[in-house]
């Protein structure tokens, strides 16, 4: 926010400086036309003695600012005060040239409009607006002909046109200058943002690539260590040594699981290899993979699948579903049921992984998918993250619904082909 304010301030100061430098060149001819018209309209001598020097003083002030700000850039406070003083001086000029009927009223739009464009909504502009409105109300309450009669005849029309033309030119210089400057600032910020995002993306990919290479390098010697420990464990050992070797194997297995999860998480960054995938067959294979674990945990696996096909990366989809189903098995007590379904949804398909296990609290749901945050001991939390990445790569959506002791339902909605359209509303649940 501070960076944006600095850019905005610099643009206001630059355009404000140009405005103040150009203002005398616009106001001088308008002032000359108005004074000539006052004389030709037969204005009273007292009115001419009041308006003539007043307009000359105001024009002299504009010239002074133009000269001063050729050597320096105006500050925001200086610009705000200059515009406010100008509005006040013009209200007095209107009061001395017919009040609400004064042909100089259109000139008020220039300082007020530029101030609004430069500083937007805020206390300063609110005060300026109220002051000008009160001034106009005061002009309306002044009796006609006080202190001088309104300008009459064709001279009044000429003064009105000259004042309106001068105001339009000043607004064009100030307002269009500011809008153009803001547009340039926006383009510069967009270019900076895009460059930053590109650099961050390159750095992230580099880090993930390096991490994947390190994980592979660690896994190779880890496999050798695990094999040697298994060989040692087969020999004759005291009970205490045997337990120690079991702990080593368990910890090595946990490290292997973490490495496998990390490598699976990094893999979706590669391009998809889409092919026609029959979801009934995919869920059947998944159930076969889970069969041994499910039987060991006393959990029944049920598959209900329509004959529906999508275009996707079969290996990635199976990997995502396997992670979700493994989490469901972990959360389901003996005697429970894990249900896998596939149904048609428009041009695509909807997959669900439903368990009747322990479920999750709203707090756990909010943190679901955060890497290395898991609801089970030793879990990495990367399984859900991997599944979400795979579904998003296919242009789909994934949603979890759960409650304590009421199980969990994971719904995956896939388009007919990667990047295709989902059903109306499905994209609200992306990620």
pLDDT in tens, 21-33: 999 999 999 999 9
- Residues written for the chain: 431
pLDDT in tens, 166-195: 999 999 999 999 888 888 877 877 887 788
Judge if 372 and 303 occupy the same domain.
Answer: yes
* Residue that finishes a domain, picked among 202, 234, 268: 268
pLDDT in tens, 308-362: 999 999 888 988 898 899 889 988 999 999 999 999 988 889 999 999 998 988 8
Judge if 391 and 337 occupy the same domain.
Answer: yes
Helix (H, G, I), strand (E, B) or coil at 410: strand
Number of domains in the chain: 3
Q: What is the pLDDT of residue 74?
A: 92
Domain that holds residue 279: 272-429
Judge if 262 and 395 occupy the same domain.
Answer: no
Judge if 187 and 299 occupy the same domain.
Answer: no
Residue 199: inside a domain, yes or no? no
Judge if 15 and 112 occupy the same domain.
Answer: yes
Residue 103: inside a domain, yes or no? yes
In the structure encoding, which two tokens stand for residue 45, read together? 């001598």
Q: What is the pLDDT of residue 173?
A: 93
Phi and psi, residue 175, nearest 5°: -70, -45
pLDDT in tens, 64-113: 999 999 999 999 999 999 999 999 999 999 999 988 889 999 999 999 99
Residue 205: inside a domain, yes or no? no
Q: What is the pLDDT of residue 431?
A: 37
Judge if 30 and 170 occupy the same domain.
Answer: yes
For the residues 224-241, what does the mean pLDDT come to?
75
Q: What is the pLDDT of residue 107?
A: 94
Helix (H, G, I), strand (E, B) or coil at 261: helix
Residue 55: inside a domain, yes or no? yes
- This prediction has a pTM of 0.51
Q: What is the pLDDT of residue 209?
A: 64
Q: Virtual CA dihedral for 400, 266, 318, 342, nearest 10 degrees?
A: 30
**Which segment, 61-65, 268-272, 343-347, is predicted with the most confidence on average?**
61-65
Taking the C-alpha atoms of residue 2 and residue 197, their distance in angstroms, rounded to an integer, is 20
419 against 262, higher pLDDT:
262
Percentage above 90 pLDDT, the chain: 46
Q: Residue 298 — very low, low, confident or very high, per pLDDT cuts 50/70/90? A: very high
Would strands 337-345 and 300-305 be described as parallel, antiparallel, or unpaired? parallel
Residue 128: inside a domain, yes or no? yes
Judge if 305 and 390 occupy the same domain.
Answer: yes
Judge if 150 and 182 occupy the same domain.
Answer: yes
Any idea which residue has 């509303």 for tokens? 425
Taking the C-alpha atoms of residue 76 and residue 125, their distance in angstroms, rounded to an integer, is 13
Q: What is the pLDDT of residue 419?
A: 58
Judge if 258 and 180 occupy the same domain.
Answer: no
Residue 117: inside a domain, yes or no? yes
Percentages helix, strand, coil for the chain (3-state, rounded to 5) are 70, 10, 20
Q: Residue 137 — very low, low, confident or very high, per pLDDT cuts 50/70/90? A: very high
Judge if 90 and 165 occupy the same domain.
Answer: yes
pLDDT in tens, 362-393: 888 888 766 555 555 555 567 788 888 888 88
Judge if 347 and 421 occupy the same domain.
Answer: yes
* Residue that finishes a domain, picked among 252, 268, 284: 268
Residue 69: inside a domain, yes or no? yes
Q: What is the pLDDT of residue 342?
A: 94
Residues 6 or more apart whose Cβ sits within 8 Å of residue 265: 371, 382, 385, 386, 389
Judge if 261 and 284 occupy the same domain.
Answer: no
Percentage above 70 pLDDT, the chain: 86
Q: What is the pLDDT of residue 332?
A: 92
Residue 65: inside a domain, yes or no? yes
Three-state secondary structure of 132-145: HHHHHHHHHHCCCC
* Residue that finishes a domain, picked among 134, 163, 194: 194
**Mean pLDDT, the chain, integer:** 84
With contact defined as beta carbons under 8 Å apart, do 294 and 300 qualify?
yes
């Amino acid at each position: 926010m501070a960076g944006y304010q600095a850019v905005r301030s610099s643009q206001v100061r630059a355009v404000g400086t140009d405005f103040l430098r150009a203002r005398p060149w616009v106001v001088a001819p308008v002032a000359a036309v108005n004074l000539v018209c006052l004389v030709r309209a037969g204005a009273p001598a007292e009115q001419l003695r009041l308006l003539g020097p007043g307009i000359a003083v105001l024009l002299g002030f504009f010239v002074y600012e133009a000269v001063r700000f050729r050597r320096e850039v105006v500050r925001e406070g200086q610009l705000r005060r200059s515009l406010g003083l100008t509005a006040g001086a013009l209200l007095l000029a209107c009061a001395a040239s017919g009040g609400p009927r004064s042909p100089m009223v259109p000139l008020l739009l220039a300082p007020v409009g530029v101030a609004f464009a430069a500083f937007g909504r805020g206390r300063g502009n609110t005060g300026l607006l109220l002051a000008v409105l009160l001034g106009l109300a005061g002009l309306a309450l002044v009796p006609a002909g006080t202190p001088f009669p309104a300008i009459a005849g064709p001279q009044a029309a000429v003064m009105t046109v000259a004042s309106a033309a001068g105001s339009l030119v000043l607004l064009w210089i100030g307002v269009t200058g500011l809008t153009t400057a803001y547009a340039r600032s926006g383009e510069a910020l967009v270019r900076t943002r895009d460059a930053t995002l590109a650099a961050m993306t390159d750095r992230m990919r580099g880090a993930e690539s390096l991490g994947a290479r390190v994980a592979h390098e660690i896994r190779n010697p880890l496999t050798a260590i695990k094999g040697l420990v298994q060989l040692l464990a087969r020999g004759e050992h005291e009970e205490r040594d045997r337990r120690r070797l079991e702990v080593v194997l368990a910890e090595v297995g946990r490290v292997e699981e973490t490495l496998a999860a990390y490598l699976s998480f990094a893999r979706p960054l590669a391009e998809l290899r889409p092919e026609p995938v029959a979801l009934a067959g995919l869920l059947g294979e998944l159930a076969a993979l889970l069969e041994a674990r499910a039987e060991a945990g006393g959990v029944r696996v049920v598959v209900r699948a329509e004959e529906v096909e999508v275009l996707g990366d079969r290996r990635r989809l199976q990997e995502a579903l396997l992670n979700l189903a493994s989490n469901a098995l972990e959360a389901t007590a003996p005697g429970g049921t894990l249900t896998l379904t596939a149904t048609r949804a428009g041009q695509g398909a909807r997959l669900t992984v439903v368990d009747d296990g322990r479920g999750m609290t709203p707090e756990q749901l909010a943190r679901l998918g955060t890497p290395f945050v898991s609801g089970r001991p030793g879990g990495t939390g990367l399984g859900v993250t991997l599944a979400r990445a795979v579904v998003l790569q296919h242009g789909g959506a994934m949603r979890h619904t759960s409650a304590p002791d009421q199980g969990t339902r994971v719904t995956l909605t896939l388009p007919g082909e990667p990047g295709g359209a989902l059903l109306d509303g499905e994209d609200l649940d992306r990620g």
